[in-house]
Amino acid sequence: MMTWIQRGGPVVWPLLLLSLLATTVVIDRIRFWMRTGRQHDELLELARREGLEAVERLIARGMVLLDTVITIAPMLGILGTVTGIIQSFELLGGEARPDPLGVSSGIAEALITTALGLVVALCTILPYNWLRARIRTVLFDLELALQREEAP
């Protein structure tokens, strides 16, 4: 694993940071939903006092970060691809005979960062979509409950 990190070049580090941030948010949100369970009483009370927007802020915490990770990770992977290929072409375009090990090192950097960027995005999109669906369902249920209370 450390070899891959070293061979992936400098772009690997922000990708690992994004992975850590996404994992932290996903664990936090899973713990939140496990505590909340199917009991919407506390959320309903909050919606009565402060409105559905307050509930949405509470239950959607971290979703913007997950969305950003899903968007940025593949782009960082492509950036690593570009830097790796540039490194390889610089070695190929030099006056001296190109070093095959150096060229393959640049190609390895390109492939590792591309793969890592995709893995980070793919591993984030699944919990993101599950959480997004859960948030929509809860907000819909709370809105219906509030409408029933307001009906004569």
Tens digit of each residue's pLDDT (9 = 90 or more) over 78-108:
999 998 888 888 877 766 777 777 778 888 8
Tell me: pLDDT of 69 over 80.
yes
The 10s digit of each residue's pLDDT in 13-55 is: 999 999 999 999 999 999 999 888 766 788 988 899 999 999 9
Average pLDDT score, the chain = 89
Determine the 3-state secondary structure of 125 from DSSP.
helix
DSSP annotation of 11 reads T
Domains in the chain: boundaries: 2-150
pTM for the whole structure: 0.84
Phi-psi category of residue 98: left, alpha or beta, with phi > 0 → left and psi -120 to 50 → alpha: beta
What whole-number distance in Å separates Cα of residue 113 and Cα of residue 125?
18
Q: What is the mean pLDDT of residues 116-122?
A: 96
pLDDT, residue 1, reads 63
Mean pLDDT (whole number) for 103-119: 90
